[in-house]
Structure 1
């Protein structure tokens, strides 16, 4: 079981249980609105998460993420929620400033 903490959503904590799948699926299943303009297909970077800690618990970046890193559209501490598997260990993330929704209240 892993725990994902979204720091700038008031440290909202998500427990994965024994669930597998993508990080964005766990976020949505917990009722959190998270941007994904391309329908979770890895064709944009609107679902990117900033990884504060726990990068070592994530699977390796896939082809789509490496493509965006090469273009400079994903930084070293960023991953796509729609392409990243739910980790085996804990993860602390933040919503990128550019991907924040205007109708949600974010913390610092």
Structure 2
């Protein structure tokens, strides 16, 4: 079963049997707050996640993600959590600019 590890949330691990869902859907199903200003539509970058390991375990970039890459708003090691479909284990962290003030981060 695939696992999402969020390193700057004290290495919190989510084990799921939910393949074919976005990383954001799985994160929210596990009661973790994760920013998504546009309502999970891929219209902003507020749900950006930094991929530390397992980039190959995410589905191909969506058109929205390609657009943000072309605008230099999404680096090679970043994906939109609302768009990236999980295929296997990933290790991620919340981007600094997308951290919530009410949450305690480990870095």
With normalisation by structure 1, the TM-score equals: 0.95
Matched, 1:58 2:58: yes
Q: Verify the 8 A CA contact 2:18 2:26 in the aligned structure 1.
A: no
Q: CA deviation at 1:101?
A: 0.2
Q: What pairs up with 1:10-21 in 2 under 5 angstroms?
A: 10-21=10-21
Q: Verify the 8 A CA contact 2:48 2:94 in the aligned structure 1.
A: yes
Name the Cα RMSD after superposition: 0.9
* Matching residue of 2:98: 99
Q: CA deviation at 1:19?
A: 4.2
Matched, 1:31 2:3: no
Is there any run of 5+ residues in structure 2 with no aligned partner, and where?
none
Structure 1 segments of 4 or more deviating over 6 A?
Answer: none
Count of matched residue positions in the alignment of Structure 1 and Structure 2: 107
Distance in 2, matches of 1:95 and 1:18, equals 21
Q: CA deviation at 1:90?
A: 1.0
Q: Verify the 8 A CA contact 1:16 1:86 in the aligned structure 2.
A: no
| 1:19-49 deviation line (CA, Å, top 9, x unaligned) | 4311101000101000000000000000010
Is there any run of 5+ residues in structure 1 with no aligned partner, and where?
none
Distance in 1, matches of 2:18 and 2:97, equals 32
